[in-house]
Amino acid sequence: MLGFRAAESYKSEHCLLKNVGVASFNKQHLRLASYAVEFSQIVEQLAEREPKPEDWKHIDAVFSRISLFVATHFREEEAMMESQGYPGYPGHKKQHDRFVDQLSDVRSQINNRNINFKGKLSTLLWDWLYKHINEVDYQYGEFFREKGIS
């Protein structure tokens, strides 16, 4: 699998995401993967130099976009799981909550202009895209399919 640093394009990333069986969620996952690629490009640019004020502005913008879209996506997944009585909902929600908490730690680092946010956010996005989506989200596919949702 490609790491974010090695990611060459949006295309190479999204081929690695599993189909979770719900079209709107697949679409949201792809959009999130594209944000992750955008973030990895910033990280690459900053590998050999200190961020300038305009770099931090770009980081603020990309991070805000990621966290807003993550919030929307989690809300929609949770609403669907809850309304359909998905048995894995409580554990799944816990993972979302943990991810949101970790994002808020990254937010503080970014606000403090602490460059260590780079490693933390890369790990988070990696874990979330490849482990959460491909393993945890993937599990609801069959359940929703049986409920006639696609």
Give 60-67's long-range contacts (Cβ < 8 A, gap of 24+).
Answer: 60/110, 62/35, 62/38, 63/39, 63/106, 63/107, 63/110, 63/121, 65/35, 66/32, 66/35, 66/36, 66/39, 66/103, 66/125, 67/103, 67/107
By CB under 5 A, which span of 46-54, 100-108, 115-123, 133-141 interacts with Fe ion?
Answer: 133-141
Q: Is the CB of 13 or the CB of 77 nearer to Fe ion?
A: 77
- Binding Fe ion by CB under 5 A: which of 86, 137, 141, 144? 137
How many residues at the interface with Fe ion, by CB under 5 A?
2
**What is the contact mask toward Fe ion in residues 90 to 129, using x (rule: CB under 5 A)?**
----------------------------------------
CB of 74 to Fe ion, least distance (A): 7
CB of 78 to Fe ion, least distance (A): 8
CB of 4 to Fe ion, least distance (A): 18
Output the residue with the shortest Cβ distance to Fe ion: 137
Query: Can you tell me the distance from the alpha carbon of 14 to that of 11, in angstroms, rounded to the nearest whole number?
Result: 5
Phi, psi of 20 (to 5 degrees): -95, 5
CB of 69 to Fe ion, least distance (A): 11
Query: Can you tell me the distance from the alpha carbon of 12 to that of 8, in angstroms, rounded to the nearest whole number?
Result: 7
Q: Is the CB of 22 or the CB of 110 nearer to Fe ion?
A: 22
Choose among 31, 132, 28: nearest CA to 88.
Answer: 132
Chain residues binding Fe ion by CB under 5 A are 77, 137
